[in-house]
Amino acid sequence: MGVTVICKPQLASVMSDDDESGNTDRDISDKFAAIERELRAESFFDSIKDQLPGMFGMAFMFVITILIALFIRPWYDIAGLHAFGEEGATQVKYIAMELSFIFIFTGVILLLAKYKKDWIIKYGIMGILAMALMYSTVPLAHMMVIDFDAEPFEYDAASTHTSESYLVNYGMEGLLTAELTGEADGPWNDSVSYWHGQPFDGEPVWQIDQQRSPGNDLGDTRVVLNGNIATFTNGVWIWTIDIDSGEKLNTYACHEIDEVQGLIPLPNMHTACSLAVLIDDSMYVVSTDDSLFHYKVFEEQLMVYQAAWALPTNIGITEGVLYSEVISENRLLITTPTQVCIVELEETNKALLSLLEIEPATTAFVRNSTGYYVSSDFGHSPWSDVTMENASADTGFILLGENNGNVLGFEWNQSAEVEVVEQTKMHLMDFAETIQSARLTDLDVSGMTDMLITTGDTAHWLHGQALVNRISFPVDDNFATGYFVEDSNTSSQFVAIYDDDGSTAKHGEVTGEMMTISGLQLYDGPFLVGVIVAIALMILLYVHSEWYVVNTVGVLVGSGVIVMLGVAFVPSLIIIFMVVAAIYDAWAVYKSKHMLALADTMINLRLPILLVAPQSKGYSFKEGQTSISDKGEEMPAQSSAQTTTKKAKKNGGEAMFMGLGDVIFPGILVLSCAQWLDESVAIPVAMGALVGGLCGYAALMYFVAQGKAQAGLPLLNGGAILGYLITGLFFIGTSLLDFGISW
């Protein structure tokens, strides 16, 4: 493809100054050099006046090509048609690969031209263009019939139900709540309930009461999950319940009675119990001073002390427990507002330390929050290759939401050399100003988990490994969690739980019409229309290669290439691409000058890898094609759009040319901004890059109108990059400069 601006049919690039013409492989004719000198002698204003029609026409095609690419981008986006996947969008090696292909393509064309193999060039490029054209015509046909607007979700008018209980844990299909009952001068009890489906409407699936006496009403009821067994503690008692049946299995005292002191901690424990879990005959208890204790449980329900460990610094159990679960026989996951950790549950201490110290607990993973964690979940990884049913018991996924708007995920594999690694494919850092909830879900009942990420006012269902936001749900403050209940084969219910002096639940129906389209949308009718239009244009190009046919094909091919590359790479990589291409363009025009030979070949073959802007009604692209490097005495006056002689008008008028690459490179930066930047700023920054490219085009036309030869990409790419940086720094700030790319 061309990478320079062309002014006049035979100027295959904006030519270098005539005093350097001797350095070219194919010398520019003396006649052309004379025309260039004549142009420089003209008044700048006269030259600009003569070329205004062509300049405006070229600017229009520049803009319309990029706008068509923006229009068809959703079709590529929902299909996930990223050339190298989302991970490859940030890798420099793929940009290097693209540049290599451009250099190889240029070399092959020049070699074929040298050996007079024009027919191979013509039909080879025609075939490539036919395929490239379908990357635009097929999406355009689909965009005309696909409705990308989803129906809004609404809550049922009479769906709000309240409860005095508060949330203690949740799963994919239900939640556990606890309610403190009793009187100020009487015994206190904890009433634990399990709700399935739409909670607080009617009776729970089961309800179990547990006394607090001789304790008081201070402290929360907390739970640790271990399969279908839930271990509760209220600071005084520990009890276990089978979640499936609602049967209370065991009750243990987390205290002793002293005749003098009254209620005291268990042996070797200096404070009250804050968290507990029963695993076979072992009871692991976490105290309020962040220590972990191991006791043996016997049939008589006595707990015999075995060992103690210190949990990681900054875990802050007293600040609250967001989530806790036994994820394998000897791994306990605990998430608090300040830290998430995986603790190894051992039988005894490994070493004897001073009585004044407690041995640190062995941990497989520890991560402190950067702000504070507000939500945590554990389950099947969205990036797993197998469904939940077939997943290994030694693998899982930790999902975390922070108050500062970050959402993080960690892959856990107990059998791996490194047990926990961060999932870098999420790209959810700075997802919002704040996060209220982060959950793993399976709305489409596919067996593969998705995410339900709730920001300040919206719950977003992020589907698949690409985390596409397929549907959003409005929420209010104090949102605690949300989940989906399968309603029928065609719909589900979204249940929103709020924590506000107890718990409030409301729900609404979720249907397929509410979800944005995802995946490749290839309908038979639009596909056939797109293919037929592409074939018809290529036939017309072959039999009637007039300027308006060339422009139509060029604009459509350019828009397809723009969107393919734009959705494939992040803006920082596109900028690297553009800078290298601009340097190459300048070298090819000013130093090597082989771009002249390349453009000469393309114009004479009338191939649509350029745009043509006629400056008068009589102009014909088919007539009067003469090589820019011919040594003959005659050169049609239309070969230079800057020539305004009577002879030029007699020979069919004048035109201005621009290589298709000069539109494509600024265009892919515009597309990349729209694709990869945050939705709230993507379009303004993309428009900034577009306006910057137009400013570069205006500067290019200024030099061309003065008869000064210019390579196109340095000014066009430079203007687009400058526009991107100015608008990006205004809307995004200095984080725009955090490229986040790798080899």
Chain segment 536-557, per-residue pLDDT in tens: 999 988 888 888 888 899 999 9
Q: Considering only residues 715 and 123, tell me which one the structure prediction assigns the higher pLDDT.
A: 715
Six-digit token pair at 614?
Answer: 């006629």
Please state the φ and ψ torsions of residue 583, each to the nearest 5 degrees: -65, -45
DSSP H or E segment with residue 697: helix 679-705
- In contact, 387 and 393? CB cutoff 8 Å: no
What is the rounded CA–CA span in Å between residue 657 and residue 33? 18
Between 145-149, 401-405, 693-697, the lowest mean confidence (pLDDT) is in 145-149
What's residue 637's pLDDT?
29
Which pLDDT band holds residue 322 (cuts at 50, 70, 90)? Answer: very high
Percent of the chain with pLDDT over 90: 42
What's residue 642's pLDDT?
31
DSSP helix/strand/coil, 696: helix
Which pLDDT band holds residue 12 (cuts at 50, 70, 90)? Answer: very low
pLDDT in tens, 617-674: 777 777 644 443 343 333 332 222 332 223 334 344 577 777 788 899 999 999 999 9
Q: What mean pLDDT comes out for the span 367-388?
A: 94
What's residue 436's pLDDT?
95
Cis peptide before 714 (omega within 30 of 0): no
Which pLDDT band holds residue 440 (cuts at 50, 70, 90)? Answer: very high
Q: pTM (2 decimals)?
A: 0.69
What is the rounded CA–CA span in Å between residue 691 and residue 683? 12
Q: Considering only residues 490 and 325, tell me which one the structure prediction assigns the higher pLDDT.
A: 325
* Report for 36-45, 175-184, 365-374: range of highest mean pLDDT: 365-374
Six-digit token pair at 484?
Answer: 């989906």
- In contact, 90 and 427? CB cutoff 8 Å: no
Cα–Cα distance list, 107 to 98, 117, 565, 728 (Å): 14, 14, 22, 37
Task: Supply the mean pLDDT for the chain.
Answer: 82
DSSP helix/strand/coil, 695: helix
Answer yes or no: is pLDDT of 718 > 60: yes
- In contact, 278 and 226? CB cutoff 8 Å: yes
What's residue 380's pLDDT?
95
Give the side-chain half-sphere CA count within 13 A for 715. 18
User: Is the Cα torsion angle 162, 165, 168, 169 positive or negative in sign?
Assistant: negative
Angle at 738 between CA 734 and CA 741, to 5 degrees: 160
Give the DSSP letter of residue 91: B
Alpha helices for 80-117 (secondary structure H): 85-88, 92-114
What is the rounded CA–CA span in Å between residue 325 and residue 653? 79
What's residue 596's pLDDT?
60
Six-digit token pair at 118?
Answer: 């024009």
Task: Judge residue 289's burial from the number of C-beta atoms within 10 Å of its C-beta, 0-12 exposed, 13-18 middle, 19 or more buried.
Answer: middle
Count the Cβ atoms, other than its own, within 10 Å of residue 243.
19
pLDDT in tens, 608-620: 677 888 877 777 7
